[in-house]
Each structure stands twice: as C-alpha cells, then as structure tokens.
Amino acid sequence: MIDTDTAFASYEDLRADLPQASFPKRSQTGRDLSDTLSCFDAYVLDAFGVLNRGEAAIAGAVERMAQLRGLGKRLLVLTNAASYTRTQVLAKYHRLGFDFSADEVVSSRDVALAALPPLPAGQVWAAAAAEGDDFLDASQGLRILPLAENPELLETAGGFILLSTARWGAADSAVLTAALQARPRPLVVANPDLVAPREEGLSLEPGMFAHQILQATGAKAGFFGKPYRNAFEAALARLAGVPRDRIAMVGDTLHTDVLGGAAAGIGTVLITDHGLFRGHDVGPYIDQSGIRPDWIIATT
C-alpha cells in the first residue's frame, strides 16, 4: 500500500511516456453524475473508484446506473482490471447489483490478449496472474502459463505478460528483471495502473512494477489499457453513432481516466470521493499536473 501523494508523484514521473492531450481552462463542478446529464449521452465508466472500491459497490452507484439507463443514456465499463476474464468481471458486477451486459464491458485484459502475438514454435507466454487463471479467453493458438506455478519459465518463456499483482511483489520483480537482463524478451502490461483503490487503501498494480522493471533493464514494453489509445478505440467502437463530444469518461484518476479520455477526444468526469483522491483536495493535483477534467464531482 502507498499513499496518494506517492502515487501521484509516480504518475508525474511517467508523464513524458503518457499520451498528450488538451484540457479545458476550468472545470464544471457538481455533486454526482446527475449534474452532468445535459452534457452527455453516453458514459464510459471506470470500475474502481466509480462503481466499486475493492469488493464493495459504492453507495448509490447501482441506483445511478439505473437512473442513467432510464433516461436513455448508453453505458460502458472500461476497466484496467486484468486479473480476471470478462465473464468473471461481469459476474462480480452482477453480484454487486449492477446489470451490465457482456457487450457493455471492455477490460484492458481483453485488449491485451487480442493483440498478443503468437511466439515461435514451442515458446509460451509466462504470466503474472491471479491464482486459478486458466487463460481460456486468450486467442486460439496462444499458450500462456502462470509464472507462479512455473518458475522455470523465467529462463524458457518467449515473453512475459503482467495481468495481476495478486501474487506479485518486489522480489518477483527483481527476479524478472534479472531474467530480462540475462535474455531480453517481450514484456506486455495488461494493466497500466500504478495503484488501485481498495477498502484498506491503495494497492500496487502491474503498471507500477512494470515501470520499475523497465527502468532497471532499459527495455520497452507494450501497454494496454487506459490511458492508451488501444483501450479507448476498443471502447468507443462499442458506442458507434454517439458523437465524441457527447461521451464522457468517468474515473477517479487524472493520469489514466482524465488524460486518456481527453486524448481520445471525449469529455471527462473526475470523481473525487472514492478513489485515488479520497480525503484530499484535488485542486492542487490538477494545478500541478495540468490535467483538468471537464467536470469534477464528488460521487457517482
């Protein structure tokens, strides 16, 4: 776990490697998404910090989604959570009370696995993955094995993919760093987030470890998910027919949700009370980064 200031500084350290975008001179403010209804016809929703915090739904979020549907707004979840398949993620949302359909969920895992190239004959991808991940959602012909159960893959794998930090820590990063220094191979990051808001605080996510590995090795990686264009292209394809200026990215972070949404040419809404900036005045962070959302609201 780390604090908001450390996470924000870490994102700022990476700013040169993130997409470029322009922002409004000032933000509109409100209490919740109902204050933005006249501005948008579709909402692209982050999960952590917008719909849920850890394994608990944010108070009022289920009811808000029902209100938006009742008004004819289109909804889409765009999440950097890559630990589980879309079916598993959808089951979680349903368990929390949300009624999203499979077509209304796009995860960075989906985007990364769809782009993952086959390796030379006999080689496999080694994955930092949650326990029990079977990778059945991977494209046909791709072989992915969990690194935790197959440590010999540090030497033999043709490439590595970071899906989850559920079973990952600094020691694992050190071992992978050494393996990549000994024999460079592709590294794919299916969750670019540095942190995620959970009930007990901010957890370290694959993006944080990936950037540490890249700094130590001098290598490059393929990143899939917000704030990168690949994730937004996948999401916006589901919202064909809605003008981009009538679509809003709703999230809890400046450097992934707001920056990514602005770079994609859609509106942006920052929620402050449940995610990265929970308990903080977001104004100084906006001023320091220059990443300014179209709207700032307290809750979903």
pLDDT value, residue 268: 98
Q: Are residues 231 and 106 in the same domain?
A: yes
Q: Are residues 219 and 237 in the same domain?
A: no
3-state secondary structure 174-231: HHHHHHHHHCCCCEEECCCCCEEEECCEEEECHHHHHHHHHHHHCCCCEECCCCCHHH
pLDDT value, residue 179: 98
Q: Are residues 151 and 210 in the same domain?
A: yes
Name the nearest CA neighbour of 295 among 34, 7, 4: 34
Q: Are residues 252 and 274 in the same domain?
A: yes
Phi-psi region of 132 (alpha: psi -120 to 50; beta: other; left: phi over 0): left
Q: Are residues 235 and 106 in the same domain?
A: yes
One-letter amino acid for residue 246 of the chain: R
- Does residue 297 contact residue 32 with C-beta atoms inside 8 Å? yes
Distance CA 196, CA 64 (A): 22
Q: Are residues 12 and 158 in the same domain?
A: no
Q: Are residues 81 and 35 in the same domain?
A: yes
Kindly compute the dihedral angle of the four CA atoms of residues 208, 76, 199, 258, in this order, to the nearest 10 degrees.
Answer: 50
pTM: 0.95
Give the DSSP per-residue string, 13-66. HTGGGSPP----SS-EEESSGGGGTTT-SEEEE-SBTTTEETTEEPTTHHHHHH
The structure tokens listed for 200 are 């007990």
Q: Are residues 255 and 179 in the same domain?
A: no
Q: Considering 223, 249, 278, which residue would you say is the last residue of a domain?
A: 223
Task: Look at residue 296 and give its three-state secondary structure.
Answer: strand
Q: Considering 203, 223, 243, which residue would you say is the last residue of a domain?
A: 223
For residue 267, the cross-strand partners are 248
Distance CA 27, CA 21 (A): 16
Three-point CA angle 287, 199, 62, nearest 5°: 85
pLDDT value, residue 11: 98
pLDDT value, residue 292: 98
pLDDT value, residue 200: 83
| CA dihedral sign of residues 254, 257, 261, 264 | positive
Location of structure tokens 């326990």:
131
The tally of domains found in the chain comes to 2
pLDDT value, residue 183: 97
Q: Are residues 234 and 292 in the same domain?
A: yes
Q: Are residues 94 and 153 in the same domain?
A: no
What's the CATH number where 130 sits? 3.40.50.1000
Q: Are residues 135 and 271 in the same domain?
A: no
Contacts of 134 by beta carbon, 8 Å cutoff, 6+ apart: none
Q: Are residues 234 and 202 in the same domain?
A: no
Distance CA 55, CA 46 (A): 15
Q: What's the domain range around 55? A: 4-110+227-297
Q: Considering 169, 199, 223, which residue would you say is the last residue of a domain?
A: 223
pLDDT value, residue 72: 98
- Does residue 270 contact residue 295 with C-beta atoms inside 8 Å? yes
pLDDT tens sequence for the chain (300 residues): 789 999 999 999 999 999 999 999 999 999 999 999 999 999 999 999 999 998 899 999 999 999 999 999 999 999 999 999 988 999 999 999 999 999 999 999 999 999 998 898 889 999 999 999 999 999 888 899 999 999 999 999 999 999 999 999 999 999 999 999 999 999 999 999 999 988 888 999 999 999 999 999 999 999 999 999 999 999 999 999 999 999 999 999 999 999 999 999 999 999 999 999 999 999 999 999 999 999 999 999
Distance CA 24, CA 294 (A): 6
